[in-house]
Amino acid sequence: MKKDITPSTLVMKFGGTSVGTSKAIEQVTENIRKTRQKWDRIVIVTSAVGGVTNLLVESAERAIIGDEVFISQAERELIDKHLDMVEKLIPNAAQRAQLKQEIKYLATEFASICRAISILGEATPRAMDAVISLGERFSVRLLAGALQAAGFPAQFVEATHLVETDDVFQSAYPNLEKTAEKVQSILIPMLMQKQIPVITGFIGATKNGITTTLGRGGGDYSAAIIGATIPADEVWIWTDVSGVMTADPRIVPDAQTIPEVSYREMAELSYFGAKVLHPKAVRPVVEAGIPLRICNTFKPEEKGSFVVKEKNPSEPQNIDSQRVIKAVTAIPHQRMITVEGRGMLGVPGVAARTFGAVAATGTSVPLITQASSEQSISFSVPSDSADAVLESLHEVFSTELAQRDIDRLWASDEMAIITAVGAGLQCTPGVAGQIFSALGAAKVNIIAIAQGSSKVAISLIVKAEESNKAVQTLHQFIAS
């Protein structure tokens, strides 16, 4: 927090579990009360109530096949879930009646969109965004109302008035320049009047005002965007875990919270399985130089993890991987796809055609490795996408397969990606050797290896049944 005369500004984002019940919202209210004593200005960003987004997605999918019964049941469930929380959180009769009316109106809007989808027999990305965005529109009214009932000068704001995006529905990209203009004109006057804006996460709007969503991790992304464009002094992400862990505690029971990680480390951790924060959420605060904290709504006394600006890596003192590995992650349910053939040697464009075929299936590739002889390319894809990727590759390389320039295209059995992350990996000799030696001693077979250009992570492919053993083995290198 800044110590000069500039008012300190904090953006706090609360996830679905943090607003999932009336008790949880009461805890959120208490967290805000304590935090407000230390910060001059606070901005709140909220996700949908836990479970609501999944219900909305399923409703849209059921609407495509004309399941009117499901839509009616979902409408009733949305109303009941939110009205029950209103009853428990809002003691004032007039305020309670107004909030109930708004919730019923949104539920009616939900049913209307779903029935329109049902009539058309399809849900365009734009229609999906219209449906899915309703979760945050419900919760922002609920949380703002609860804060008002607790005596806070809170006011909800729909992010469609703040975050301007392109028109790539379901994964929209924000225009930060336009967003900054809107944030400055709408939020700053509210903050100057000591109000607490409560903003919908996950959503934005095109320049024509059409609702969009920001894709997976959009709530965290929203908080980072708002934090960067105010600009805030810090952004806090409140969730149901106490920060970034050294490993998944379900695999490693003695996993601990990492007090501080760099932006690059966080991006690698997020990408390779640490689901506490989406990689997209890191970029706006990186570029604005704003620290980001991840903390536990239900254990606010714990410090959590700070994501901070890069530090210059220290000079290595010895070959001690305990000093440089901060976390170990695992991405399960992967399969290795291999394109191999003697006719690939020195032929330009094979890699481009390979990944063009993968892209045509809408599949993301988390890891790539290639033999130095250029006779094979291997990469991982989610297991449930492997068959579609193989089919696409066979189509693209049908001529080469017939001419035996490519000998075969094949997919492995199920694998897992294990990643060791730590900034010290880029400057400490011997760490990779220790990693491989330890896994060898544990009889874990390494199928493939990759290290990104950031050099803060080493990723390995292992058999699915050896995944937990690999994580547990590498976690032994992390200092307690």
pLDDT in the model for residue 410: 92
pLDDT in the model for residue 372: 58
Judge whether 265 and 39 are in contact, CB under 8 Å: no
pLDDT in the model for residue 137: 97
Q: What is the pLDDT along the chain (480 residues), one digit of tens a residue?
A: 444 567 899 999 999 999 999 999 999 999 999 999 999 999 999 999 999 999 999 999 999 999 999 999 999 999 999 999 999 999 999 999 999 999 999 999 999 999 999 999 999 999 999 999 999 999 999 999 999 999 999 999 999 999 999 999 999 999 999 999 999 999 999 999 999 999 999 999 999 999 999 987 789 999 999 999 999 999 999 998 888 888 888 899 988 888 888 888 887 787 666 667 776 777 888 788 899 999 999 999 999 998 887 655 444 433 334 457 889 999 999 999 999 887 776 667 888 899 999 999 989 898 888 765 557 889 999 999 999 999 999 999 998 888 888 888 999 999 999 998 887 776 677 777 888 899 999 999 999 888 765 578 888 999 999 999 999 999 988 854
Query: Do 322-475 and 9-240 have the same topology in CATH?
Result: no
Domain boundaries, the chain: 9-240, 322-475
In DSSP terms, 107 is beta-bridged to none
The CATH fold assigned to 322-475 is VC0802-like (3.30.2130)
The CATH fold assigned to 9-240 is Carbamate kinase (3.40.1160)
